[in-house]
């Protein structure tokens, strides 16, 4: 029982960990989708000329960004007891990262040359077309690597969902360790799975970055 590594234990730990991995991926994908859409909305709203619009949104963004994700998760989970923990997790992850992604979008929009806006105006394009056909396609191309990196960060922060008892990969390993009193195999596999998923993804993002540069 006191051998350092047991392949048999590893094999026993694998199914619950893989089930946890599924939840981890789900939370990351849904969280990223929420963050990507909400982040864009925030970036657009913050360009409004009205201070009555930009000031409260700016304050909210600052608040979310300046408080820890863990605190936000637990707070929302406890405040909304009737909402399933996984839903709370996805939404809080999404909102938290939306504040970061909105900055990526802002930079992408700012990077669209002034001449593009001027040409659009010279053609008298309506506002919606200027954004949809000219500015956003160019801006979003430039934001993809940044969004990708934040998605990877989010993936690596999903273990925080442990705090609101979502059984993602890390929680699954913890539970397995709790049952068997040995954590080595389970936690090692969790680490390896994180590495296995995030490293190739980050290589992909880097390639994307080079291709779009």
Partner 1 sequence: MPETTAPRDAAPSGTVPAPARATTTVQGAVPAIEFQGVVKRFGDNTVLDGLDFSVAKGDRVTLIGPSGSGKTTILRLLMTLEEADGGIILVDGDPYTHEIRGGKRVEVPEKRRRAVRRRVGMVFQQFNLFPNMSVLENIIEAPMHVLGLTRAQATVRAEELLDQVGLADKRDARCTQLSGGQQQRVAIARALAMDPEILLLDEVTSALDPEIVADVLGVLREVAETTDITMLIVTHEMQFARDVSNRVLMFDHGRIVEEADPETMFTSPTHERTQEFLRAVLGD
Where does this chain bind partner 1 (CB under 8 A)?
Answer: 113, 115-116, 118-126, 129, 133-134, 137-138, 141
Q: Which of 193, 182, 186, 204 is nearest to 158 (CA)?
A: 193
Min dist. Cβ of residue 117 to partner 1 (A)? 9
Q: Which is nearer to partner 1, 62 or 118 (CB)?
A: 118
Min dist. Cβ of residue 196 to partner 1 (A)? 35
Tell me the backbone φ, ψ of residue 185, rounded to 5 degrees: -65, -45
How far is Cα 69 from Cα 181, in angstroms, rounded to an integer? 29
DSSP label at 135?
Answer: I
Min dist. Cβ of residue 139 to partner 1 (A)? 10
Min dist. Cβ of residue 127 to partner 1 (A)? 10
The CA–CA distances, whole Å, from 148 to 4, 100, 207 equal 37, 12, 11
How far is Cα 77 from Cα 21, in angstroms, rounded to an integer? 21
Min dist. Cβ of residue 118 to partner 1 (A)? 5
Ranges assigned E (strand) in the chain: none
Asked if 36 and 101 touch (Cβ cutoff 8 Å), the reply is: yes
How far is Cα 98 from Cα 95, in angstroms, rounded to an integer? 5
Q: Which of 21, 2, 35, 10 is nearest to 193 (CA)?
A: 21
Min dist. Cβ of residue 207 to partner 1 (A)? 20
How far is Cα 114 from Cα 207, in angstroms, rounded to an integer? 28
Q: Which is nearer to partner 1, 4 or 122 (CB)?
A: 122
Q: Which is nearer to partner 1, 1 or 122 (CB)?
A: 122
Q: Which is nearer to partner 1, 15 or 137 (CB)?
A: 137
Q: Which is nearer to partner 1, 57 or 125 (CB)?
A: 125
Q: Which is nearer to partner 1, 116 or 201 (CB)?
A: 116
């Amino acid at each position: 029982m006191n051998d350092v590594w047991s392949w048999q234990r590893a094999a026993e730990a694998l199914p619950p960990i893989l089930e946890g991995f599924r939840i981890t991926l789900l939370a990351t994908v849904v969280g990223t989708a929420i963050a990507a859409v909400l982040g864009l909305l925030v970036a657009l709203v913050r360009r409004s000329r009205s201070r009555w619009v930009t000031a409260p949104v700016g304050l909210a963004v600052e608040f979310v960004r300046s408080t820890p994700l863990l605190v936000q998760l637990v707070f929302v989970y406890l405040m909304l007891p009737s909402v399933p923990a996984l839903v709370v997790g996805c939404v809080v992850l999404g909102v938290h990262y939306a504040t970061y992604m909105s900055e990526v979008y802002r930079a992408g929009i700012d990077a669209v040359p002034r001449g593009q806006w001027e040409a659009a105006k010279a053609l008298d394009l309506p506002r919606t077309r200027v954004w949809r056909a000219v500015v956003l396609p160019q801006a979003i191309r430039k934001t993809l690597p940044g969004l990708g990196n934040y998605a990877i960060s989010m993936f690596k922060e999903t273990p925080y969902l442990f705090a609101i008892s979502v059984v993602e990969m890390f929680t699954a390993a913890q539970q397995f360790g709790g049952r068997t009193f040995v954590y080595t195999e389970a936690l090692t596999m969790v680490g390896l799975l994180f590495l296995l998923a995030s490293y190739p993804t980050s290589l992909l993002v880097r390639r994307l970055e080079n291709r779009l540069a």
